[in-house]
Amino acid sequence: MKPDNDGNVSEFILLGFSEDPKLQPLLFGLFLSMYLITVLGNLLIILAISSDPRLHTPMYFFLCNLSFVDICFSSTTVPHMLVSIQRENRAISYEGCVTQMFFVCVFATLDDFLLTVMAYDRFVAICHPLHYTVIMNPWVCGLLALGSWILGSLACLLQNTLLLRLSFCMDVEIPNFFCELKMMVQLACSDAFVNNLVMYFSAVLLGGGPLAGILYSYSKIVSSVGRIASAQGKLKAFSTCASHLSVVSLFYFSCLGVYLSSAATLSSKSSSTASAMYSVVTPMLNPFIYSLRNRDIKRALSAFLLKGTTKGQLS
């Protein structure tokens, strides 16, 4: 590993899950399968919602955005890992590492924001049903989605810009299968006080803020549902939130596991496993959670697949 002209490293080594050659085919097959399931599952959600006019509502508009972000999220990390396993080369260039870290940050932040917006959508639908179409009009939905993209990109651009001022020692090994901000800052040789300050402030603002918004929305939802007289009405109201709550829990618990594991140890196996939960497993499970617990999605998927089968038979 040679330093560049500025005395910085030109590449990093991603340690991944294991260096055992016997496990590499298993890891390759496992992550290739998970990636294909992620792309196919989320793509089916997008196509099913797009093809069914009855699902052209704010809730499913945000779900389409979430599915698209999940595809991009997995595509940022898994293909490079698969190529590295196939070529038996764990190195990643400095520029490639910084670029990958930026997009991982952007798509993780977008996941966070979109889950918050979806919680707000459920809050308006349940607590203010008569004003729902006025409050959640297409213009507002578009602004919320666009605002999430802009805010997430700007926040991550700031993190990346600050990272560029850091220098790294020779033989830098990243105990993960992709470049992650927290680990990159921990491995820097130069003073990273400003980076840590901005990173933790951003985590509180961009992580804690949306989580507080989700908790507030659901506290109001629970309070509103509690005033519904019929048990069937309560069940219907909660059923519209069940899928979203499952995804929120999976996302936040897995992200928390990443930061707890990286704070406790720099072990490659523990860090990679925790990171895989929110960057690979969660995007893969989201389509299943929404399709299995949502009758509208089931109906739209069935209609879309039936239409595709019918066209195939006619041709």
CA 225 – CA 123 distance, rounded (Å): 11
Query: Which pLDDT score is estimated for 290?
Result: 81
The predicted-structure confidence for 53-105, as pLDDT tens digits, reads as follows 988 999 999 999 999 999 999 999 999 999 999 988 899 999 999 999 999 99
In this structure, the number of other CB atoms found within 10 A of the CB of residue 86 comes to: 12
Tokens 């399968």 appear where?
A: 33
Q: Residue range 265-286: average pLDDT?
A: 78
Cα→Cα distances 251→111, 142, 145, 274, 279, Å: 8, 24, 19, 11, 9
Query: Which pLDDT score is estimated for 1?
Result: 43
197 burial type by CB count under 10 A (0-12 exposed, 13-18 middle, 19+ buried) = exposed
Tokens 């779900």 appear where?
A: 63
* Residue 148 belongs to some domain of the structure: yes
246 burial type by CB count under 10 A (0-12 exposed, 13-18 middle, 19+ buried) = middle
CA 176 – CA 267 distance, rounded (Å): 9
* Residue 128 belongs to some domain of the structure: yes
* Residue 189 belongs to some domain of the structure: yes
| Mean pLDDT of the residues in the chain | 86
How many distinct structural domains can be found in the chain? 1
The predicted-structure confidence for 259-273, as pLDDT tens digits, reads as follows 665 555 555 566 787
User: Binning pLDDT at 50, 70 and 90, where does residue 258 land?
Assistant: low
What percentage of residues in the chain have a pLDDT greater than 70?
A: 88
Q: Residues, the chain, total?
A: 315
In this structure, the number of other CB atoms found within 10 A of the CB of residue 137 comes to: 12
* Residue 6 belongs to some domain of the structure: no
Q: Are 64 and 45 in contact (CB under 8 A)?
A: yes
* Residue 300 belongs to some domain of the structure: yes
* Residue 4 belongs to some domain of the structure: no
Residue 180's SS3 state is: coil
Tokens 């929305």 appear where?
A: 217
Looking at 47-56, 143-152, 230-239, 265-274, which range is the least confident one?
A: 265-274
Q: What is the CATH number of the domain that holds 282?
A: 1.20.1070.10
User: Binning pLDDT at 50, 70 and 90, where does residue 2 land?
Assistant: very low
Entry pTM: 0.89
* Residue 5 belongs to some domain of the structure: no
* Residue 196 belongs to some domain of the structure: yes
What is the residue range of 231's domain? 11-314
